[in-house]
Structure 1
Amino acid sequence: MPITGHCLCKAVTFSADVEAPLVTGYDHCDDCQRQSGSTYSLVVVVPKDKLTTTGPIKKWKGIADSGNAVYRWFCSECGSPIAHDPEAAPVIALKGGCLDTELKKALKPDVEIWTVGKLPFCQEKLAHPFEHMPTQ
């Protein structure tokens, strides 16, 4: 069953041809906090080569702590964040809030990444923590 979703206005749709995400977790990095407007971003990581998108996607290029580019994808019509795409990795992190409703309800986040950026008032352990992006 593919992972499918769309932005708020439904102008952008996506589908990842995978049985399950590689990772489902909470991303506490500062950039994800800013893009989501919340204390963390729920992400669903899939291989880039399995993802198909349609619609008016705008990409903003940022630079990660590693010095590599990370592209933040969002709908150019409604502004909904869609994904963050680390240029140096073969995976892309879809924003969990954009998944189709039944898929969102079935998510089971199992990791927290970039806990080094976790806000002091949000210290409850949500899942298996990694200070930065896990390498394995």
Structure 2
Amino acid sequence: MAIEGGCRCGATRYTIAADRIDAIYSCHCTDCQRWSGSAFSEQAVVPEGTISATGPLIEFTLTTPSGAQSRQRACGVCHTRLWNTNSSRPGIVTVRAGTLDHNRTLAPRAHIWVKSKQPWVVLTDDVPTFEETPSMAEFSAALTR
């Protein structure tokens, strides 16, 4: 089975070779707020090598404040960001969950960078929260609980 998604205009489509995606998180950092134009972004974590795309795909690299290289993939027509990889997290692809075809079935298993969350966003007590970026061990534990 496969999970599919795509950009806003439909020119670029992608497929994730998986039956389901459980590792979903919301990021409340100010960068994600600016990128999304909203209060937070929702991400799906999948293994690298499980995602393939058709259509015009552009790539660009950003250097994060920590010095890591973040390779962004976006539609070459409408510039919707679809996923990225990061040199500090090898083997992992971070998909913009809102670009998945069936994104209404997803629920975050963690919230990160909550110190920057908008004051009107209310988080439930049953989902782990992290003030900033958690360690990989903490993050993995939260996403696989």
TM class by smaller structure: 0.7 to 0.9
| CA 92–22 in structure 1, closer or farther in 2 if over 3 Å, else same | farther
Question: Pairwise CA RMSD of aligned residues?
Answer: 1.9
3-state DSSP of counterpart to 2:136: coil
Tell me which residue corresponds to 1:18: 18
Question: Does the Cα contact within 8 Å between 1:115 and 1:132 map onto a contact in 2?
Answer: no
Equivalences for residues 47-126 of structure 1 within 5 A: 47-89=47-89, 90-100=91-101, 103-122=102-121, 124-126=122-124
Work out whether residues 24 and 45 of structure 1, in 8 Å CA contact, stay in contact via their aligned partners in 2. yes
Q: 8 Å contact 1:12–1:54 — kept in the other structure?
A: yes
Decide whether aligned partners of structure 1 residues 36 and 61 sit closer, same or farther in structure 2, where only a CA change above 3 A counts: same
Assess, with a 3 A threshold, how the Cα gap between structure 1 residues 112 and 48 changes in structure 2: closer, same or farther: same
Larger radius of gyration: 2
Alpha-carbon distance in 1 for matches of 2:22, 2:48: 11
The structural deviation recorded for 1:20 is 2.6
AA partner of residue 113 (structure 1):
I
TM-score of the superposed pair, with normalisation by structure 2: 0.80
The amino acid across from 1:125 in the alignment is L
Q: Which of the two has greater strand per residue?
A: 1
3-state secondary structure, aligned to 2:14: strand
Q: TM-score, normalised by structure 1?
A: 0.85
> How far, CA to CA, are the matches of 2:39 and 2:70 in structure 1?
20
Q: Is the 8 A contact 1:27 1:40 kept in 2?
A: yes
| Aligned-pair CA distance for 1:17 | 0.8
Specify the code of the residue in structure 2 equivalent to 1:99.
Answer: L
